Amino acid sequence: MKTQVVIVGAGPAGLLLSEILHRHGIDSVVLERSSREHVLSRIRAGVLESTTVDVLRANGLATRMDAEGHPHDGMRIAWAGRDSFFVDTWKTLGRRFMVYGQTSIQEDLFAAADRRGQPVLAEVADVVLHEHDGAPGARPYVTFRHGGEARRIDCDFIAGCDGFHGVSRRSIPEGVRREYEKVYPFGWLGVMARVKPLPDITYVNNPRGFALASYRNQNLSRYYIQVPLGDKVEDWPDDRFWPELKARFPGELAEAITAADTIEKSIAPLRSFVSEPMRYGALFLCGDAAHIVPPTGAKGLNLAVSDVFYLSRAMARWYGRGDAAGLDGYSATALRRVWSSVRTSWYLTTLLHRFPDTSEFDQKAQEYELDYLKNSERAQAALAEQYAGLPFEQAD
């Protein structure tokens, strides 16, 4: 079997890449280790930068998003004993972001793949990447098992979109690969409930810990609270979660929160992780295969989309004009946006959470940083620019 691009991973990065490549006349085969049902069952965030919205619209993937998604003009920040304030991305930048769940995006991408007959092989095992190091005469190919049979696909390029635990990043030699990581000393307990959400996405800094009110649709809310790393979901029954959540929100906002039976509950650790480079010979990394950010900045899915945007553009130039400049510059271009988002996520995480080893000095500095952000239009504009999404770099 032969194709132009083998895409490892059928999450949003992998299926979006296959869609855009198809629109440029570039063939691909997608390999996924899990079942489609498992991929669709993964619940993720749903805040889309304006640039992500633009990419989905430009590639015919926005019909449902535009009908069911919810544009937002900004996000609200509150902290104990003070009035909340609104960071207005629309007023500052003329850009809105969209709330549209990642599960819905995944459904839309599978539907698009089905319509065009995209080869997506699910439940593959023992994936191994071969001759992808760019050595003279190397001819990349991928071996795997599917349906109990050994298979091989020859290709020009391999796109590793298989997440943090996938094979792609580990296929870059340790002597070439450099990894950066910061692990935070707490996790997020997240719940979903069929209740009316607060009007704004709201971040809260409270002595009891961080809290967040997010949004799925007009009758579906997503809430989070900061919890110790050792906590388990069983430690947080609904009759404990809702009082704790409301205790962290200021009075009027707390009164607007409706408690109900939760329909999903999970705890996720927080960390920042970046692997460089994002290209090794014929292998290109996209999304969580190369980087993880804490969800505070709502950047994970958006970074995957920006990686795909840059890589698909580079491949289109190569196949269309024989121009390798985009491929050669992919890693550096993608990493500039990655590190910008890593910094934003780190900043918001540091600003809004209570750290177990915080000194009195650190706490005062955090409080005055919040006060500065509240009262400085320029500081809010800088945060709004990062939160709503920086423009993509233009091609040379």
Where along the chain do its domains lie? 5-68+100-181+271-354
Q: Identify which of 141, 52, 63 has the alpha carbon closest to the alpha carbon of residue 97.
A: 52
141 is catalytic: no
The C-alpha atoms of residue 243 and residue 316 are separated, in whole angstroms, by 53
Residue 394: CB atoms within 10 Å: 5
Q: Identify which of 201, 206, 204, 133 has the alpha carbon closest to the alpha carbon of residue 173.
A: 133
pLDDT confidence of residue 306: 97
Locate 78 and state its tokens. 């509150």
pLDDT confidence of residue 105: 94
387 is catalytic: yes
User: Are the C-beta atoms of residues 258 and 213 closer than 8 Å to each other?
Assistant: no
Q: Kindly state the DSSP code that residue 2 receives in the 8-state scheme.
A: B
**Cα dist from 360 to 228, 354, 366, whole Å:** 20, 12, 10
Locate 304 and state its tokens. 């995957």
Please, which residues have CB within 8 angstroms of residue 364's CB and are 6 or more apart in sequence? none
203 is catalytic: yes
Burial class, 337, CB count within 10 angstroms (exposed 0-12 / middle 13-18 / buried 19+): buried
299 is catalytic: yes
Catalytic residue among 224, 319, 330, 387: 387
Q: Identify which of 333, 326, 270, 332 has the alpha carbon closest to the alpha carbon of residue 299.
A: 270
pLDDT confidence of residue 256: 94
Catalytic residue among 22, 299, 353, 374: 299
Catalytic residue among 12, 22, 72, 374: 72
The C-alpha atoms of residue 129 and residue 158 are separated, in whole angstroms, by 8
Residue 174: CB atoms within 10 Å: 8
pLDDT confidence of residue 179: 97
Catalytic residue among 295, 319, 330, 353: 295
Number of H helices and number of E strands within the chain? Answer: 13, 20
**Which CATH architecture describes the domain 5-68+100-181+271-354?**
3-Layer(bba) Sandwich (3.50)
The C-alpha atoms of residue 388 and residue 216 are separated, in whole angstroms, by 18
Locate 75 and state its tokens. 């996000």
Question: What is the chain's mean pLDDT, rounded?
Answer: 94
Residue 25: CB atoms within 10 Å: 10
Residue stretches of the chain with pLDDT short of 50: none
**Mind listing the pLDDT tens digit for each residue in 315-349?**
999 999 999 999 999 999 999 999 999 999 999 99
The C-alpha atoms of residue 128 and residue 84 are separated, in whole angstroms, by 51
**Maximum CA extent, the chain:** 67
Whole-model pTM?
0.94
Catalytic residue among 100, 141, 184, 203: 203
Residue labelled with tokens 């919810």 = 70
Q: Kindly state the DSSP code that residue 46 receives in the 8-state scheme.
A: -
